[in-house]
Structure 1
C-alpha cells in the first residue's frame, strides 16, 4: 500500500527537505505541499491524501491546530500527523484535542517519521518518544500515588 502524503509547512526549505526525504521511501508518495491552512484544505480536497504532515505555525497566521480542525471537517478527512519543533504541553494537548493522529518533533530521526506516516495511514496514534514520555508522566501525576 502506498501512503499518499501532503506536506504543510510555512518554510519552503523544510517542505523541500521533507519531500526529498519521503521520496526515499518506496511506499510513500508526496502529492503536494502547502504553506498555509487555506492551501492545505484546498490541496487535501483536491488530492485526498492519506496523511497530512502538519506544522503548528503557518504562513497565513492560522495555526496548525486550526488547520487540523478544518482538514478533519472535510467529507473524506485525511489523518493529520503534526511535525513540529514545538513541544510545549499546551501545543501537544491542543493538537490532540483538534484530532491529530500523532505528534512528532522535527529533531527526530528519519525512520521515526517513516514509521509514523505508515502508522497514521493505518489510523494508529504515533508520538515522538519525548512526547509520549511527557504525556505519560503528566497522566501519572494527575492520577496520584
Structure 2
C-alpha cells in the first residue's frame, strides 16, 4: 500500500482527495494537514510514502518551504506538488526544493493517481505542459550560453578546440598532442557534434567567447 499524506488548506479539497485515493486498491490516506508546519509534524509521525503537497497555502508555512524542510528531515519520502499554477517559475522552484513532480489541480483523476504511483517508486512526474516548458528552458539556456554543452566535452576535445581557436591545422594539432591526424579529425568531429556546429569558423568563434585562448595549452 502507498501511504499518502494530504496537505491542502481547503478542507473540501482534502475530503475529495481522501475519497479518491482511498478508493484505490493500493493507496491509503494516513493523514491530513492544512499548512506546512502541520505537514512537517505529521509527516514525521506518520512516515508516509508520498506527500501530496498544495503549493499555495496563505496561512502558515507554504508548500515550497515545507517541501524543502521535509526533504532534509525525510529524504526517503517523495513529495508531489499539487498546484493550480501552470507557470515555469513555480515548477522550477518546486523541483529545486526537492519535489519529485508536479500535478495541476485541473488534471484528470487518472493523471493524479498515475503521478502518485510514479513518484512512489522513485520516478519523477511532470504534467505534459511542464515537461515542454522544462525542455524549452533547457534548450534556450544551451543556445544562449552553451555552458552545459562545454561541460560534456572531454579534456582532449577541449585541448583540440583550444588549438583550433589558436589557428593550428589538423596536422599541427596531431604533432603537438602526439596523435594521428585521423584521431584529431575524429575528436574534432565529435566535439562539433556535441556543440551542434558545422564549420571551423563556428568553433573558433565559440572558443573565443568561452575564453579558451587562456585555457590549457
TM-score tier by shorter-chain length is over 0.9
Alignment partner of 2:25: what SS? Answer: coil
Alignment partner of 1:73: what SS? Answer: helix
- Determine the structure 2 residue equivalent to 1:47: 46
Question: Shift of the alpha carbon at 1:62?
Answer: 2.1
Question: What whole-Å deviation, never above 9, does each CA across 1:97-120 have from its counterpart, x for those lacking one?
Answer: 000001111111111111111111
Question: Shift of the alpha carbon at 1:77?
Answer: 4.4
Higher helix share: 2
Structure 1 length-normalised TM: 0.93
- Determine the structure 2 residue equivalent to 1:74: 73
Structure 1: which 4+ aligned runs deviate by more than 6 Å? none
Q: Residues of 2 paired with 1:88 and 1:19: CA distance?
A: 26
Structure 1 residues 104, 75: CA separation in 2 closer, same or farther (over 3 Å shift)?
A: closer
Answer with 1 or 2: which has the greater Rg: 2
Question: CA contact under 8 A between 1:37 and 1:67: conserved in structure 2?
Answer: yes
- Determine the structure 1 residue equivalent to 2:35: 36
Q: RMSD between aligned alpha carbons?
A: 1.4
Unaligned runs of 5+ in 1: none
Q: Residues of 1 paired with 2:40 and 2:108: CA distance?
A: 28
Higher strand share: 1
Unaligned runs of 5+ in 2: 144-195, 197-217
Q: Residues of 2 paired with 1:110 and 1:12: CA distance?
A: 18
Question: CA contact under 8 A between 2:37 and 2:60: conserved in structure 1?
Answer: no
- Determine the structure 2 residue equivalent to 1:133: 132
Question: Shift of the alpha carbon at 1:45?
Answer: 0.7
Q: Which stretch of structure 1 is more off in the superposition, 49-58 or 85-94?
A: 85-94
Instruction: Kindly report which structure 2 residues correspond to 1:4-15, keeping only aligned pairs within 5 A, or say none.
Output: 4-15=3-14
Q: Residues of 1 paired with 2:138 and 2:8: CA distance?
A: 30
Question: CA contact under 8 A between 2:53 and 2:80: conserved in structure 1?
Answer: yes
